[in-house]
Structure 1
């Protein structure tokens, strides 16, 4: 193709991206990128390791682990933990952790995760660290933050973001929606000097079904992605991902129409389409300088089995996320 035609194609592509509605999603959604092997996951988190390979952790077991050399072909590789930390049983009779989030900072890997009984907000978020990020290599660091049945929030579904030398953790589900606390960047645990529990998103209708936050920085804005409605019910799942943004990591977050996420706002980013039912439980991974949306969906062609979904997360000209 000639340089002239290449330039013309680039201009056309940019123009088409600019025409995508702010917040995206309104006109249909692309299918997930092809993946193969063991891709039955729930609440996945993924990272590219220092050796160039990939690891994904997900809900259940001792945080199920899968590895890949190319981000396409996956195989089961045991669990994050070789043994169950004793404190898990204070929050879950089965010692079954949920919704991990992996990151790399200060020369080591950090894995945040949830321990809770289903339907209860007597919940805790734990932390483990590792030099390699590999399954079986994690050392548990204990409880980061917990909630009790007297609280108006639920300490599950952690999402961590570093910002200007500070470390923050968003979390939450149902009850009053998405919250945020400050962490001590040295330990990764709750900062004893700042105990405020900030409020980022909720909705006006019971049962306030918004959970699984992800906070990502792009340009001068922070973006809050969250899963709305019902997960965990196979073909009946109504999960979908919505987004808002803020000039401050602690909010307030608003959608493209200016509606605060604390008042039910949020642009629809990804919803059910075709055989891809109830996408959610998302996280965002940086890979070769690009943002990748990592999530699960329920496979309408496989009796609603939860599967791994990957899509590139692109950005419109006016700075709103678009699933590519």
Structure 2
């Protein structure tokens, strides 16, 4: 893993002109390869982030919701420079009152939100718990806009989706929502306490529909014995082709540079599983193919989300930066699919090919007219000549 995860040039295609935004990013990459001191490929602005939701877009802004007091929000207009939202989802002292009966002593630190857009509004799922406990609950709030300046901006809490107690087999945290091939809505969730679960949601209300439940990962040991502590959490399901792909986390989070989080994946032809890794081992029996793990100062990657736009697959996750005292930060990678239909993560946002860099306003292009190869010569700008 390297910081080119944030070079968002996936909209570019060979033979097409680059916009000034893409030109700026490419110029930064060129500067990096030239050995300049700044990190050209790093996200800009405030990229503090833990347990990021999937990116969701409203108007010209991309939003991510994360673990934090009242549910922290951050936004970007270019997927590179991020800023803190002007206010949390829930103001201090105005948290949904029903939460106290589910998680006594809750003080406002919401975990691992997930946001999806459907039915003309945004559905924001959030989890409430305390560290090391499965006395937890997942709630839902809705809003017709994510723009706090919009007069229609108002988060309306819809109440409980699912709760667990100390006697429950599962743990109601880390919600993630997926639509199946038939249009059905599902939510995966869970952490450590016997593994990852899946429930059906009502497509209109976004709340639980019926009592169906499926174990997806971490429920039993390799010898078939039910586990009490699975070590699996932060599930996320992606549908691609004829498969559903389940991303999960293993290891320990929330310990800064000492975190041991890593991301694994398995796949199934059914939304309810079984999910098998590349070796055919069930994720319910300690299977899992590792997709991203600690590398260099990028420690404990976790909590996958996938945003798709214009043919690009923006895979988000957090990591702990050991160069910054274990600060939790956002990373964005480019997810692709290999010949066997397994996902892979690349930091290369430019496909092979010949590119033209053009000013979107004047139409003038960059070229090497007059260059003799001497170091430091300027790149020329002029009228494009057809190849």
Q: Same fold (TM over 0.5)?
A: yes
Q: Which structure has the larger Rg?
A: 2
Aligned to 2:200: 182
Structure 2 contact 190–233 (Cα < 8 Å) conserved:
yes
Pairing of 1:193-208 with structure 2 (within 5 A): 194-202=210-218, 204=221, 207-208=229-230
Aligned to 1:142: 159
Aligned to 1:17: none
Q: Which moved more, 1:295-304 or 1:79-88?
A: 79-88
Structure 1 contact 240–278 (Cα < 8 Å) conserved:
yes
Distance, in Å, in 2 between the alignment partners of 1:284 and 1:218 is 12
- How many residues align? The count is 294
Counterpart among 121, 124, 144 of residue 111 in structure 1: 124
Distance, in Å, in 2 between the alignment partners of 1:189 and 1:277 is 35
Q: Which stretches of structure 1, 4 residues or longer, exceed 4 Å deviation after superposition? A: none
Q: Would the alpha carbon gap of residues 88 and 161 (structure 1) be closer, same or farther in structure 2, given more than 3 Å must change?
A: same
Pairing of 1:147-226 with structure 2 (within 5 A): 147-163=164-180, 164-191=182-209, 194-202=210-218, 204=221, 207-226=229-248
Aligned to 1:264: 286
Structure 2 contact 56–116 (Cα < 8 Å) conserved:
no
The TM-score, its normalising length taken from structure 1, stands at 0.86
Distance, in Å, in 1 between the alignment partners of 2:130 and 2:244 is 31
Structure 2 contact 56–64 (Cα < 8 Å) conserved:
no
Is 1:58 aligned with 2:66?
yes
Pairing of 1:1-324 with structure 2 (within 5 A): 34-77=42-85, 78-82=87-91, 83-90=94-101, 91=103, 92-134=105-147, 137-163=154-180, 164-191=182-209, 194-202=210-218, 204=221, 207-324=229-346
Greater strand fraction, Structure 1 or Structure 2: 1
Partner SS for 1:89 = helix
Give ranges in structure 2 of 5+ residues lacking alignment: 1-13, 15-38, 222-226, 347-387
Distance, in Å, in 2 between the alignment partners of 1:146 and 1:166 is 22
The alpha carbon displacement at 1:108 in A equals 1.2
Structure 1 contact 293–313 (Cα < 8 Å) conserved:
yes
Give ranges in structure 1 of 5+ residues lacking alignment: 1-5, 7-30
Distance, in Å, in 1 between the alignment partners of 2:228 and 2:54 is 32
